[in-house]
Structure 1
Amino acid sequence: MSPEILDTAAAAAYVGLSKPTLERFRLTGGGPAFAKLSPGNRGAVRYRRADLDAWVASKLIRSTSQVAA
């Protein structure tokens, strides 16, 4: 696997989340973009490192007052 393409475990480690948290974001939305490479519930999912970086960058805040309640 290319170092630019990560599976769920590697992507979760890269952004500092647990694997279940990243999986939950896939179901509920709000997480990083991902690619579903095969059909079904157990289909292969991959993340591009650039998409993970962009997602983290989109979460930057400058003060705690910016955090949604």
Structure 2
Amino acid sequence: MTERMLTVADAAVLLGTWKTSGERFPRRLVAERRIRYVKVGSHVRIPESAIQEYLTAHTVEPVQRRRRRRYGRAA
């Protein structure tokens, strides 16, 4: 079971935050312990599956809107 371990920069690219906030967002997730990570000495590595779990848990599905009746109910 060899899982790919990502650097914080790689995690930022997968999360799509590289251009806007750089490594700041993944580092905040680690600091707030909102995502799994591994500490190797002074280096932080994030399992690729942790990124997928985070994205799945925070995905918002669209709501099906009911069609409104054009006219109100008849009395």
After the TM superposition, which residues 37-52 of structure 1 pair with which residues of structure 2 at under 5 Å, given as runs?
Answer: 37-38=40-41, 43-52=42-51
After superposition, what is the alpha-carbon deviation per residue over 1:11-49, rounded to whole angstroms, capped at 9, x for unaligned?
11111123111112222233x2111111xxxx1000111
**CA RMSD, aligned part only?**
2.2
Structure in which a larger fraction of residues adopt helix: 1
Which runs of 5 or more structure 2 residues have no equivalent in the other structure? 64-75
Which runs of 5 or more structure 1 residues have no equivalent in the other structure? 65-69
Counterpart CA distance in 1 for 2:30 and 2:3 is 21
Q: TM-score, normalized by length of structure 1?
A: 0.69
Q: TM-score, normalized by length of structure 2?
A: 0.64
After the TM superposition, which residues 1-69 of structure 1 pair with which residues of structure 2 at under 5 Å, given as runs?
Answer: 4-17=4-17, 18-30=22-34, 32-38=35-41, 43-63=42-62
Paired residue total: 58
Identity, % of aligned positions: 16
Computing the radius of gyration from Cα coordinates, the structure with the larger value is 2
Counterpart CA distance in 2 for 1:48 and 1:28 is 17
Runs of 4+ residues deviating >2 angstroms: none
